[in-house]
Structure 1
Amino acid sequence: MTPIPPTCPRWGHAPPAPALRAFVERYWWCEDGSGALPRLLPGTGAELWVHWAGGVDLRAAAGTGAPTPLPGAHLVCLRRTAWQLDRRTGASGFLAVRLRAGALRHLVPVGLDELADRIVAAEDLWGAPGRRLLERLRTATGPARRLAVLDGFLTARLAEHHRPRSWLEAAVGEVYRRPNGLRIDRLAASSGIGTRRLQRAFPAAVGAGPKEFQRLARFQRLARQLLREDERDYLPAALAAGYYDQAHFVREFRRLTGERPTALLGRGLSHFYYPPLTAGGEAGPPPTRKEFP
């Protein structure tokens, strides 16, 4: 069982409606939360956050500069640097949507190269539907009603923006699942397309070129493993992930986060790195959706 963070007395997570499970990994939420949030590390992932109580400020992980107040509903996209999220004074409540790798392009009206390294207000991205999403979640009571609102919102966005492209879907999934040692030219050949076409398609689809997406995916998956396992001796896992040696991993870690691995690892499970919801790993069937009062 996943431990309940002591600063978050009411929290939970659940899968989306069946029609959304190819795009959404999970919904997760915290009610009446207080205390510090962990750093948002660099990675390929995208999440939609909606705060129905309180709010969050964003600042650089290095602690320099004034914090930036975030909109009540905002999208966190692919990022190449670390950010710190700070709760404002008092308890907060939020609901977040964790999207699968490559899924965001099916839900937004623009290419992901326009969204990378940004936090975008839902209203700026989706207009009136984004504004109504925040209003409806702030008036909804209880997780079940909030999840139903999100199901409806994402289903409508999917109907508007779905961009089926089977070879691209397969290529993004392959890079995300196998970031260690996968050659882009071989990936292009196995996809039945040229390398240059693959390189041109990736930025709009995921927010970065295939090689950079591969590096971020490798870092993200390793960081998730180390944080979930509360692992301080990171070298064996780093070597298994494809880093040449300790110096290579430390250099990459510092490039992306500004710190050495020992400064961030070994602090216990972060709610940004829940274990998989699916039985037997990412490829397994999703669990039955829970019912909430």
Structure 2
Amino acid sequence: MKPVYFPVHPALQAFVSHIMVVDVRLDGPAYSRLAPFPPTPQNCLNFYPGDVTRSRQGQHAFHDLPACTIVGPQTTKVDLAMGPRHRFVSVAFQPGGLFRLLRLPLHELRDAPLNGADLLGPELREVSEKLQAATQPQALKNIVEAYLLRKMSPAATSPFERAIKLLLSGNPAYAIDDIAALACLSNRQFERKSHDVLGYSPKFFARLVRFSKAYRLKVNQPQASWTTISHRSGYYDQMHLIRDFKAFTATTPKLLALEMLNSPLKIQAGPRL
């Protein structure tokens, strides 16, 4: 089964991009095939109501992910190993959406997936139990969406949130100084707020957006050359792209593409930025 992408209730659209549902039975020995997940600028709230999903960062050992996992700012590649029945419900936030939910400085969560129930309370355990009993993708989405509607009261987006979406567009015509001005902040204030709301500096966030666009293009268009992808992603040249791939994944574009090709699930094509 391919991932199913659901739009969210209008009251959530300023803060949540979409909800993705995967429900699939995987062939072969359990936890034998890995799915690589390079860094992405999109924060997520992930539910695993099926078999336990295991995760590792770099060369560290695998560990079991909580039934509900908060994925904040990410700067390194993560590998996931999945059981035979892989069920996955992912809430993909707009920039600033996870900050609105948690009200915690996101730079404190960098590269540290956390148990959602520890930060958001016992209600999340009830959500996880309902997801385990649900059978249809629409029902899984509805359960999570109802929780978000209770937790995230409707509110207008801030000038900062509107401005940061220009960085998310990856358009090089937007200079950081101009975006800070649109956010009604000085450069120093914009930098400080970015660390709290996004988990990174504005320049690092823009770099991560560009890198994410490059590897998603390769997933969606595997026949495209890396030279073509580097130009379409906003890199000066292919060497510029290779440096970012080594920094964010500790490997080369070619080797990462092979890992993705052998992945049991091709959901790296998301996030839908």
Using the size of structure 1 for normalisation, the TM-score is 0.81
| 1:31 alignment partner, SS class | strand
CA shift for structure 1 position 275: 8.5
**1:251-270, aligned counterparts within 5 Å?**
251-265=243-257, 267=260, 270=266
Q: RMSD of aligned C-alpha atoms? A: 2.3
Q: Write out aligned runs for 1:92-111 (5 A).
A: 92-111=86-105
How far 1:70 moved relative to its partner? 0.7
Q: Does 1:74 align with 2:69?
A: yes
Counterpart of 1:144 in structure 2 is: 138
Residue of structure 2 aligned with 1:200, choices 171, 192, 195: 192
What amino acid does structure 2 have at the position aligned with 1:209?
S
8 A contact 1:102–1:173 mirrored in 2 = no
Three-state SS of the structure 1 residue aligned to 2:48 is strand
CA–CA distance in structure 1, aligned partners of residues 35 and 86 of structure 2: 15
Number of residue equivalences: 264
2:14 is matched with 22
Q: 1:179 deviation in Å? A: 5.1
Match of 1:44, SS state, is: coil
Taking only the aligned residue pairs, the percentage that are identical comes to: 25
Asked if the contact 2:177/2:187 (under 8 Å) is kept, the reply is: yes
Contact 1:78/1:116 (CA < 8 Å) preserved in 2? yes
Structure 1 residue 69 displacement after superposition: 0.9
1:125-136 matches, cutoff 5 A = 125-136=119-130
Which segment is superposed worse, 195-204 or 260-269?
Answer: 260-269
What is residue 55 of structure 2 aligned with on the other side?
58
Q: CA deviation at 1:174?
A: 0.9
Q: How does 1:1-293 map to 2 (within 5 A)?
A: 4=1, 11-34=3-26, 36-61=33-58, 64-88=59-83, 90-159=84-153, 166-178=158-170, 180=172, 182-265=174-257, 267=260, 270-274=266-270
Query: Could you tell me how far 1:23 is from its partner in structure 2?
Result: 2.2
Shift in Å, 1:26: 2.0
Q: TM-score, normalised by structure 2?
A: 0.87
Taking a change above 3 Å as real, the CA distance of residues 190 and 205 of structure 1, as seen in their structure-2 partners, is: same
Q: 1:259 to 1:193 in 2, by over 3 A?
A: same
- Asked if 2 retains the 8 angstrom alpha-carbon contact of 1:105 and 1:163, the reply is no
Higher RCO (CA 8 Å, separation ≥ 6 residues): 2
Q: CA deviation at 1:115?
A: 1.8
Q: In the aligned structure 2, how far is the partner of 1:50 from the partner of 1:42? A: 19
Deviating more after overlay: 163-172 vs 214-223 = 163-172
The answer as to whether partners of 1:175 and 1:182 remain within 8 angstroms in 2 is yes
Task: Tell me the secondary structure at the aligned position of residue 38 of structure 1.
Answer: strand
Residue ranges of structure 1 left out of the alignment (5+ in a row): 6-10, 277-281, 283-293
Contact 1:45 1:101 in 2 (8 A): yes
Shift of 1:91: 2.0
Contact 1:59–1:83 (CA<8 Å) still a contact in 2? yes
Conserved in 2, the CA contact under 8 Å of 1:179 and 1:217? no
Q: Could you say what secondary structure the match of 2:215 adopts?
A: helix
Letter in 2 for 1:46: N
Alpha-carbon distance in structure 2 between the residues aligned to 1:275 and 1:211: 20
The CA deviation at 1:132 is 1.7
Question: Are the equivalent residues in 2 in contact too, given 1:54–1:91 (CA < 8 A)?
Answer: yes
SS of 2:135's partner is coil
C-alpha contact (below 8 Å) 2:73/2:107 kept by paired residues = no
